[in-house]
Amino acid sequence: MKRLIIVESPAKARTIQRFVDKSFSVKATMGHVRDLPKSKLGVDIENNFQPEYVRIKGKQKVVNELKKEAQTCESVYLASDPDREGEAIAWHLAELIGTDNTHRIELHEITKKAVLSALDHPEPINMNMVNAQQARRVLDRLVGYKLSPLLWKKVTRGLSAGRVQSVAVRIICEREREIQAFKPEEYWKLTSVLEKKDKSAQVKSLLIEYSGEKIKPGNGEEMDVILSRLEGGAWKVVNVGRKEQQRKPPPPFITSTLQQEASRRLYFRVSRTMQIAQQLYEGVDIGSEGTVGLITYMRTDSTRVSQAAKAEAQEFVRREFGPEAATEGPFVKKRPNVQDAHEAIRPTSVFRTPDAVKSYLSSEQFRLYKLIWSRFVAGYMQPIVMDIVTADIDCNDYRFRATGSTVKSPGFTVLYGDVKNGNNKDNNNKDEEEKNTMLPPLEAGEPLDLLELIPEQLFTQPPPRYNEASLIKILEEKGIGRPSTYAPIVSTIQKREYVELKEKRFYPTKLGFIVTEILEKHFPDIVDVEFTAQMEGLLDGVEEGKTEWTGIIGDFYFPFEKELARAENEVVRVEMEPEVSEKVCPNCGRNLVVRKSRFGKFLGCPGFPDCKFTMPLLEEIGLPCPNEGCSGTVVVKNSRRGKFYGCSRYPECDFVSWYRPTDKRCEKCSSIMVLKFTRDGKAYMTCSNRNCPEPPPPKGEKAAAKKTKSKAPAKKSKKTTGKKTTAGKKKTAVKKTGTKKAAKKSKPAEETEG
């Protein structure tokens, strides 16, 4: 008699098939096989909220094949993913197959050892997990199918409201309100550039105190007073402090931290990170070893690691870096609301080093695997040890402080973290960079000579807009969503056009603001962070067997039903006026308006249906076509490879560029200059002519210059004038001769996203 293993994906099926003998057949369902119907609510409210499941369209053939084969098998093993969704898939399969010989096996990693062990220890389907998934599905259906028609009636057709996604949109809207209400406040910073008497070294220090009290000049007048009091003063080191500082390695990845770090270090979108992680989990052909899963299950909120994996990591560290390099591993305080159902995300074997498997992986797979592998192994290495030196320097009752640091022992950073002088390369804080430099030898009582005083006018900045990584971080901190829902949340709020991602930051749309305001006023629980977090806790209680799932639904639905009835009468109809363009309809002379279809936005005549004229919507960037004699303008276009720039008069004009054109011309060859970006998002201009003898891009920008795929361009920032500029902030200088230059105020720095 044969035995059947059922998984979700063909890739996972192929990997597992290699690990079992010929008596096993491994088949894939291609995801869910049964769900609530799309054409109706599908929840029997009168019958204790029982869901009415139907077979998903297109799954009839695969279900029939599985059912037929299951009837000829001795045992059927349901090996869907080890989470609530996977448990629900296993239950639906068991219901559809209808045999008594089904067993549930969980695979936290797709390796031969894990597969054979799971087959030796099958378990019944965990109905608590199934019910937790059913509760979430029914809650989301009730909110979506009951609330969406109200939004169609009061705002515009086609809208939908999600229970968790609406909270995410509200968080983005609240941040935008903070930014709009923000008023920058002026403050000044004073840096002294000093020199040792023997002229062997220079020291930079920052003003921190006056007569023993902290000082922070608030305007130019206050700074002028300070400069005048310092004029001609004697500078002396009053004390030097030294201390050792350690920084321990971070814990292994969970879903949210993997998404955040892949975004920050690799510039991956959240959805892309999860797609690549899924590939690494399900299995990759790595040559003589065959197809094997390279990482453990990637949807987890736990940093827990098995004893076997821990021992393997310690052995690797001892072998590669010496016995003294290995540690017991990172200590992590358990966070609240952690399900702890799976281990942390780690390599299935640390001896499969990134370099050993690099030739078998795509570039993206290799980079993500290296990130996961390095983070995990580094966790069992020694901390980085820093020597911190602080020198206090006085002049006429004003105290300045110089801080420097050096790496005494790199510890785990040889594997994870590009650290220079104790600073991660991603830290763009200039003050921190100034602190983390080496100081020359200084002694208490040592006199110094003043070379320069640098006053700097600064302005407080508004809070930054969220990017994908920081949005996931705040959702996790507030207990909104779970590992399996973070990526769908980020994707859904963009698809519904409640937010836009511009220059990697979320901006709420007009529609997003309108819907959020309606929900805040009439359905406060739906967009309440604490209420949604409490609901997540209740769903966890269902999974743990502590709570009856239908009771949770009832407690939510009946008050919600009353709010719906009240909102029907109280919500005022919002007229969403279409965006009017400057283009004119050639048939009737009216200005065309922006319309939407399932294929995207286009321009249409407002006189529809009497006038049915339409045309493509092209985003202009405000530049004339650079081709000589052409009267067209540069517009943004789309292709399979992404955005590119072309002439509005195509095909008459053939101008095209992957990079955003500018109005500048190259001084060497007269070709147009284009805007390119470094990997950390910094913009720079370079010549569009590949054969131009123009100097190469600055160091660190070559990799970005080689890319052929375009990136969404950043808006140009206005340059500020002045002797020295740092992030748009003007500096003035006072020479050691004692004749100070006027400390002119610069214009307020532009408000940025941070």
Provide the token pair at 256: 């949210």
- Whether residue 323 lies inside any domain: the answer is yes
The answer on pLDDT for 146 being more than 70 is: yes
* Phi-psi sector, 398: left (phi>0), alpha (psi -120 to 50), beta: beta
- pLDDT at res. 421: 30
- Whether residue 731 lies inside any domain: the answer is no
306 phi, psi to nearest 5 deg: -65, 155
Same structural domain for residues 275 and 355?
yes
For position 454, which CATH number holds? Answer: 2.70.20.10
Choose one of 521, 549, 570: the last residue of a domain. 570
The answer on pLDDT for 580 being more than 90 is: no
- Structure confidence at residue 609 as a pLDDT band (50, 70, 90): confident
Which candidate in 77, 187, 281, 297 is catalytic?
A: 297
Question: Across all residues in the chain, what is the average pLDDT?
Answer: 86
Burial 612-638 (b: 16+ CB within 10 A, else e): eeeeebeeeeeeebbeeebebebbbbe
- Whether residue 482 lies inside any domain: the answer is yes
Measure the CA–CA gap between 598 and 591, rounded to whole angstroms: 23
Same structural domain for residues 348 and 259?
yes
Same structural domain for residues 94 and 53?
yes
Q: What stretches of 544-673 show up as alpha helix (H) in DSSP?
A: 549-570
CB atoms within 10 A of CB 56: 19
Same structural domain for residues 296 and 362?
yes
Measure the CA–CA gap between 4 and 27, rounded to whole angstroms: 8
The strands making up 591-597's β-sheet, listed across from edge to edge, are 580-584, 591-597, 600-604, 614-616
- pLDDT at res. 340: 63
Residue 363: is it exposed, middle or buried by C-beta count within 10 angstroms (0-12/13-18/19+)?
exposed
- Whether residue 475 lies inside any domain: the answer is yes
- pLDDT at res. 626: 86
Q: Which residues, in sequence order, are bridge partners of residue 506?
A: 501
Same structural domain for residues 650 and 699?
yes
Cβ atoms of 107 and 8 within 8 Å: the answer is: no
Q: Find the Cα–Cα–Cα–Cα dihedral 593, 598, 599, 600, rounded to 10°.
A: 40
Note down the domain range covering 648: 580-706
- Whether residue 412 lies inside any domain: the answer is yes
The answer on pLDDT for 598 being more than 90 is: no
**Total domains in the fold of the chain:** 5
Same structural domain for residues 598 and 654?
yes
- Whether residue 547 lies inside any domain: the answer is yes
Same structural domain for residues 442 and 473?
no
For position 372, which CATH number holds? Answer: 1.10.290.10
Find all residues with CB under 8 Å of 287, minimum gap 6, and list them: 359, 360
Cβ atoms of 29 and 89 within 8 Å: the answer is: yes
Give the predicted TM-score (pTM) of the model: 0.79
Same structural domain for residues 83 and 193?
no
- pLDDT at res. 682: 64
Provide the token pair at 529: 């962070």
- pLDDT at res. 186: 96
Tell me the per-residue pLDDT of 26-57, one tens digit each, with 9 for 90 and over.
999 988 999 999 999 999 999 999 999 999 99
Least-confidence region, from 277-291, 437-451, 604-618: 604-618
Mean pLDDT of 354-382: 96
- Whether residue 91 lies inside any domain: the answer is yes
Choose one of 529, 547, 570: the last residue of a domain. 570
Percentage of residues of the chain with pLDDT beyond 90: 67
Tell me the per-residue pLDDT of 104-139, one tens digit each, with 9 for 90 and over.
999 999 999 999 999 999 999 999 999 999 999 999
Tell me the per-residue pLDDT of 518-570, one tens digit each, with 9 for 90 and over.
999 999 999 999 999 999 999 999 999 999 999 999 999 999 999 999 999 99
Provide the token pair at 287: 């040559």
For position 70, which CATH number holds? Answer: 3.40.50.140
The answer on pLDDT for 705 being more than 80 is: no
Least-confidence region, from 165-174, 230-239, 344-353, 737-746: 737-746
Least-confidence region, from 85-99, 298-312, 536-550, 601-615: 601-615
- pLDDT at res. 694: 61
Same structural domain for residues 358 and 424?
no
Same structural domain for residues 308 and 280?
yes
Choose one of 401, 431, 459: the last residue of a domain. 459
- Whether residue 341 lies inside any domain: the answer is yes
398 included as an active-site residue: no
Same structural domain for residues 619 and 659?
yes
- pLDDT at res. 570: 94
Same structural domain for residues 195 and 263?
no
Tell me the per-residue pLDDT of 183-211, one tens digit each, with 9 for 90 and over.
999 999 999 999 999 999 999 999 999 99
Tell me the per-residue pLDDT of 369-410, one tens digit each, with 9 for 90 and over.
999 999 999 999 999 999 999 999 999 999 999 999 989 999
